[in-house]
Structure formats: structure tokens, C-alpha cells
Amino acid sequence: MFQTFSLSTHAHSEMIDITDTIEQFINTEDVPSGIIIVSSAHTTAGITVNENADPDVKTDFLRRLDQIFPWEHPLDCHAEGNTAAHLKTSTVGHSQTLVIENGRLVLGTWQGVYFCEFDGPRHRHFHIKVIKY
């Protein structure tokens, strides 16, 4: 099973919780157990698993990435000016592989799956691939 999903981002950098979208897909496709791969289709947007209880975690996460990879750097050569977004995506990763068991995504109590925008706002896509077993 494979499907592409669309979303629109509204800020230059943001983390959008896509956990419910993934779980709805698992339910619709009736997947009792397997693995699921969630992948961003972009070089300036990633996928991560992180805390979904305290919204300050997202704020701190993005702020710290901005400290490590400032948006403009005098030595950057990339003509589009978004080298920081590419570095953030490579650091976070463009995909996550997760477990499905008993028809549910296996996550810890506080975990959620996030689409991470690093060069928005934009219209974006992410892919889901399920391997049943």
C-alpha cells in the first residue's frame, strides 16, 4: 500500500502533527501488523517523531535548529538562499520507519509523528508506504 498526502504549511518553520493522518490511513487500509514508512517528498522538509503533549517542545526544537543552522550565513553559496533548510532536513531526516501492531501505530505515550517545514510556507507532500506481515 502506498499513498501520497498533501498539506499546506503556514510559517517559515513549523512542525505539523501528522499522527492522526497516518493512523486513519492504517485503519482505512485495515493493516493488522507491519511497518510503515513515512517520507517527505522535499529536500527542505523532514519527518520526525517527537513529543506531542507540550507545544513548547516544538518551539524549542525549531529555535535550537535555527541556532545551529542560522537562516543566512555569509559563506553560503546556494543561490536560493535556503541552505539552512537543507541542513535541517538532513539532520532531522526525510523519513521515519514505524511499527504497526494490532491495527495501531506503535508509539510511546508522549510521541507523535511530525512533518517539519524548514522553508515555508509552501504546499507540501509526504508519502506513506505500508508493508504488511
Give the pLDDT confidence score for residue 1 in this predicted structure: 92
Q: What is the pLDDT of residues 82-122, one digit of tens each?
A: 889 999 999 999 999 999 999 999 999 999 999 999 999 99
Q: How many helices (H) and strands (E) does the chain have?
A: 3, 8
CB 47: neighbour CB atoms within 10 A?
22
User: Given this model, what pLDDT does residue 71 score?
Assistant: 79
Domains, the chain, ordered by start = 2-132 (2.60.120.460)
**pLDDT for position 83:** 87
More confident residue, 39 or 73: 39
Structure pTM?
0.93
- Is 86 in a helix, a strand, or coil? helix
d(CA 118, CA 66): 10
Query: So what's the pLDDT on residue 76?
Result: 62
For the segment 43-93, what is each residue's pLDDT rounded down to a tens digit?
999 999 999 999 999 999 999 999 999 877 666 666 576 889 999 999 999
Give the per-residue pLDDT at 13: 97
Written as one letter, the residue type at 87 is L
Residue 128 gets which letter from DSSP? E
Interatomic CA distance for residues 133 and 121, integer angstroms = 38
Nearest to 66 by CA among 42, 40, 92: 92
